[in-house]
Amino acid sequence: MDFSTLIQILDSTLRLATPLLLACLAGLFSERSGIFDIGLEAKMLIAAFFSAAFAYSTGSVWLGLLAGIAASMVFAAIHGLASITFRGNQLISGVALNFLASGMTVLIAQNWFQQGGRTPSLIGGARFEGIELPFAIGPNEAAETGRPLSELLSEAGPLQLLYSELISGHSILVYVALAAVPATWWILYRTRFGLRLRAVGENPAAVDTAGVSVIGLRYAAVVIAGLLCGIAGAYLATGLQAGFVKDMTAGRGYIALAALIFAKWRPWYALGACLLFGALQALALRTDVAEAIFPFKMPVQLLDSLPYILTVVILAGFVGKAIPPRAGGQPYVKER
C-alpha cells in the first residue's frame, strides 16, 4: 500500500467518522446530564430526510440544514418530554423514536416525491461542496495552471499531499465536527454550565439543593443533543451522499453509542473511537486494501459487518468496565 492510497483511506475515514462523531458528542451531552439517549438514530434519520427534502425543494443546502436541525430538535423535545417531564423509561422512549423515524421518513418521502421513499438527487447549491483551503492543490489550482489535477498531485511532496488530500477538500460540516470536540471539552470542563451538567448526571439532588434547576439542565442537554444530531443527519444526506434513501443512517446511532461507551464519556476519547469505526467503514469500501492488510481474503459481507461486530464486542466487553454517570437513566423526583 503506497502513501497516496493510505491518504485516500484516511480521507474516507474522516468523512465517514463525521456523522458518528457528531452523534457521539450528542450522546455525551445527553448522558452526562443523566438522560440515556437510544434515539440518536431517530434524530439523525429524521434530520437526514428533512434536510434533503428542503434542500431539493428550495435549492439551498443551508435551508436544508436548518430544516434538519429543526426536525431533530423536535424529536429531542419529545424524548425530553417523555423522559424528564413525564419521567418515562428513557430506553423505551428512544427505541420508540427510532421506529417512528424509520416509518415516518419513508411515508412522507413517498407522499412528497413518489420515488419509493427517497428524495431526488441533490445537485449544485443543494449540496455541501468541499472547501479548498489556502495553498492546497485542488481543482482551482489545476484550472489556473491548465494542468491535470492528478499530475499536480503526483509532483507534490508528502506533506503537501497530506495537506491537500487529507486536510483540505472537506465540506464545512466536517470541520464543524472536528471543532466540536475541543468545544465540547471546554464546555464540560471549563464552564459553570458544564460543571452543573456533569453534577446533574452524578447527583441531581445535590444540584437541586444548590438552587439549580435539574429539569432545566437536562432539557438543555437534550436540546444540544438534538442540535448535534441534526447536523449529523444533514451531513449524511447533503454532504456525504446526494439525497435521502430509506434507513440511510444504517445503525450509525447505535455505533455512536458504542463509541461513547468505548470513550468512557470523554470528548477526546470519543474522537479516537469514532475514527476507529470510520476506518473500518473505509476499509469495507476498499476491498483491495483490506486484502493487502489481512493475511486471508475476507468476504465483502464480512468487511461491511466489521463496524457492527466491533460494536457488539465493545458493548459486551466495556459496559461493565466503563462507568456511566451514576444518575443516568433515573428520572429525578424533587423532594418536597
On whether the CB atoms of residues 50 and 104 are closer than 8 A, the answer is no
Structural domain contains residue 137: no
Write out pLDDT tens, residues 41-99. Answer: 999 999 999 999 999 999 999 999 999 999 999 999 999 999 999 999 999 999 999 99
CB distance 274 to 260 below 8 Å = no
What confidence score (pLDDT) does residue 283 get? 86
Would you say residue 272 lies in a domain?
yes
Q: What is the pLDDT of residue 5?
A: 82
> Which CATH number do you get for residue 76?
1.10.3470
pLDDT at 319 over 70: no
User: What pLDDT is attached to residue 8?
Assistant: 87
Classify residue 125: in a domain, yes or no.
no
Task: Decide if 333 is inside a domain.
Answer: no
% of the chain at pLDDT higher than 70: 93
Do 164 and 156 meet the contact criterion of CB atoms below 8 Å apart?
Answer: yes
Nearest to 232 by CA among 220, 246, 218, 249: 249
Task: Work out the burial of residue 68: count CB atoms within 10 Å of its CB; fewer than 13 is exposed, 13-18 middle, 19 or more buried.
Answer: buried
Residue-wise pLDDT tens digits, 4-27: 788 889 999 999 999 999 999 999
Considering 185-189, 296-300, 312-316, 330-334, the range whose residues carry the highest mean pLDDT is 185-189
Give the other-Cβ count within 10 Å of 183's Cβ. 13
Other CB atoms within 10 Å distance of the CB of residue 27: 28
**Residue 209 to residue 191: CA distance in whole angstroms:** 20
pLDDT in tens, 266-317: 999 999 999 999 998 888 888 777 777 766 677 777 878 888 888 888 777 6
235 part of a folded domain: yes
C-alpha cell at 52: 434533503
Residue 145 confidence (pLDDT) above 80:
no
Q: How far apart are CA 72 and CA 232, in angstroms?
A: 10
pLDDT given for residue 301 in this prediction: 78
**Distances 205 to 32, 61, 115, 190, 226 between C-alpha atoms, Å:** 15, 44, 52, 22, 25
CB 122 within 8 A of CB 242: yes
- Burial class from Cβ neighbours inside 10 Å (0-12, 13-18, 19+) for residue 11 reads middle
In a domain, 331, yes or no: no
Place of cell 452523534: 23
Q: Is residue 126 part of a domain?
A: no
C-alpha cell at 53: 427534502
pTM given for the model = 0.93
Higher pLDDT, 117 or 143: 117
Residue 249 counted as domain residue: yes
Sign for the CA dihedral angle at 242, 245, 251, 257 comes to positive
What is the count of structural domains for the chain? Answer: 1
Range of the domain at 97: 3-119+150-315
**For position 179, what pLDDT does the model report?**
97
Q: With a cut of 90, say whether residue 196 has pLDDT above it.
A: yes
pLDDT score, position 299: 76
Q: Which of 48-57, 156-165, 170-179 has the lowest mean pLDDT?
A: 156-165
